[in-house]
Chains A and B, each alone.
Chain A
Amino acid sequence: MMEWEIVIGLETHAQLRTNSKIFSGSSTAFGAAPNTQANAVDIALPGVLPVLNRAAVECAIRLGLAVGGKIAARSIFARKNYFYPDLPKGYQISQYETPVIAGGSLAIVVGQAGQSYEKTVALTRAHLEEDAGKSLHEDFHGKSGIDLNRAGTPLLEIVTEPDMRSAAEAVAYAKALHALVRWIGICDGNMQEGSFRCDANVSVRPRGSEVLGTRREIKNLNSFRFMQQAIDYEVQWQIATLEDGGRIEQATVLFDPATGETRAMRSKEDAQDYRYFPDPDLLPLEISPDWIARVKADLPELPAEMKARFESEYRLSAYDAAALTAGREICVYFADCVAAAGRENAKLCANWLMGELAARLNKEGREISAAPIPPLQLAALVRRIADATISNKIGKEVFDALWSGEDKDVDAVISDRGLKQISDGGALEALIDGVLAANPKSVEEFRAGKEKAFNALVGQLMKATRGKANPQQVNELLRRKLSDRDVLRPPD
């Protein structure tokens, strides 16, 4: 059986968060009545002309800086010519030979905690272009309706090298990019509204081969789940086709979420030839080093920088550091939590955030911005664990109380419910003596070398204290007591 290697490259269209369109003064707000935000330029009346929006360019510079790409001092807008009813001019203004951003990369973490790995995805380019309108296929007497409100919305198309080797890698990249564009404020990332859309170029080749297989492009993936499903399906389809002796034809395909399958689109033109040429209505876009410096000064600390800082300063794992910098909201939550709990407790904060809090949010389908426990409360809880007022386990009980909203104050929960940890050596010793006396069988077994019996004794003690005994102290005291008895034990 041949082993196959999967090769994936992604092209992402991120709608830029500008007030007005890329080449006209129409609003870009989503959801207006059809064609009410399509002005003379957007509907391409005869005689109208485009003028470039400064904010769209600035978004491109931000991305270029964030991915370490080369920001072109001079880039050119070109016309991509094709006929389609949602493309009013009969051409799309885009960038072709000289894009605004060349190169750059994005670091991703792939897989689950404990078995994750890091990878860097190289970017080919990012270029500015205009979005098309929308064709609505509801029945207008067998016709389609065209809404040009979206036409002219600024897009940044971000293209990767064919660097990804699995659907999981592709999804990890898409998520990282999604987080990044929101982080730097250039895109709202709303995938339902189409603000962030991915096309995946997928091919397979025999492992070890240097030659790329023929690719098929899966268009318009607007959720991470669909991306995973679509690529998985496409890959198995391509492998099955090749193993059956078939050939892959280059094609554009659509993913049907209902069937979970991909299918080839009817091609827009029998022979595609876009006849790109520099747009004579627009002059070369020049970006000065000054402008880049101003944008740079205005940029927040980037997720990659923060991730590195979390790993080195807080000793977080790469997986945790990546997860905590996967979005602005979680990162801000973490930062606030650490600020209140103390830097020395950062790791514990991360554990609680990634553990109990994340699990609860996930279970209830909530975003971190809607978490019922604010970062300062979680920090207070972490501090009480760190200073041994309560154990980690009791911490969960406190967490529950905070989550339900019954209580707001961590110390009040601890004192009201008597959750304070028993760390008094004398008291614990007395309790241990009682447990040993009541469980001679376990003591015997332990002496016989069964380590399990030790845990049973700890369990008994915890039961007796309703979990409040300081686990570390219990461990130490119990071992000492048991070894003391060893001394007393008569020789065999």
Chain B
Amino acid sequence: MPLNLDQIERLARLARIEISAADGGETRDRLNDVFALIEQLQAADTRGIEPMAHAFELAQRLREDAVTESDRREAYQAVAPEVEAGLYLVPRVME
């Protein structure tokens, strides 16, 4: 079932992407084309089939509990939009 503009806007809010009023219709139409494509999956009979999340059925490898990292704050914050006193700054967080 095609999605309407409200549903698209809800997705955009979840994904934190602003959609301008002008682009809303175009976005909706293109997305609905894709949703029609993936709707084909519904026809397949997958009863009893295990979902496949990874290429191989392997177990997670574990890391030994050792501190291997040193402080590289200066290098990392050199590419940050806004920092002060070693902190990343953002618009005030409300709780």
- Contact flag (A, B; Cβ within 8 A): yes
A-B pairs with beta carbons under 8 A, tally: 128
Whether A36 pairs with B86 at a CB distance below 8 angstroms is: yes
- Asked whether any CB of chain B lies closer than 8 Å to the CB of A38, the reply is yes
Distance, CA A270 to CA B91, complexed state (A): 18
Given A53, A144, A147, A286, which contacts B63 in the complex, CB threshold below 8 Å?
A53
Query: What 1/0 flags go to B44-88 for Cβ under 8 Å of A?
Result: 000000000110001111111111110111001100001011111
Q: Which residues of A contact B10 (CB under 8 A)?
A: 271
Query: What 1/0 flags go to A1-30 for Cβ under 8 Å of B?
Result: 000000000000000001110001111000
Whether B85 pairs with A20 at a CB distance below 8 angstroms is: no
- Asked whether any CB of chain B lies closer than 8 Å to the CB of A453, the reply is no
Given B63, B73, B92, which contacts A52 in the complex, CB threshold below 8 Å?
B63
Whether A143 pairs with B65 at a CB distance below 8 angstroms is: no
Q: Which residues of A contact B16 (CB under 8 A)?
A: 83
Chain A interface mostly: loop
- Asked whether any CB of chain B lies closer than 8 Å to the CB of A68, the reply is no
Residue of B64, B69, B73, B88 with most chain A CB atoms under a 10 A cut-off: B88
Q: What's the tally of chain B residues with a CB closer than 8 Å to chain A?
A: 36
Residue of B nearest to A39 (CB): B69
Whether B92 pairs with A35 at a CB distance below 8 angstroms is: no
Q: Which residues of A contact B66 (CB under 8 A)?
A: 19-20, 25
Distance, CA A140 to CA B82, complexed state (A): 11
Top 9 closest A-B pairs, CB basis? A145-B87, A25-B68, A55-B65, A286-B59, A54-B62, A34-B86, A39-B69, A146-B88, A283-B60
* 18 more CB-based (< 8 A) A-B contacts, given A25-B67, A53-B62: A25-B63, A25-B68, A33-B86, A36-B73, A37-B69, A51-B63, A52-B62, A54-B65, A55-B65, A77-B60, A85-B93, A86-B93, A143-B92, A145-B85, A146-B90, A147-B86, A266-B94, A283-B60
Interface residues of A (CB under 8 A from B): 18-20, 24-27, 33-40, 43, 45, 51-57, 74, 77, 83-86, 135-137, 140, 142-148, 254, 265-266, 269-271, 273, 275, 278, 280, 282-286
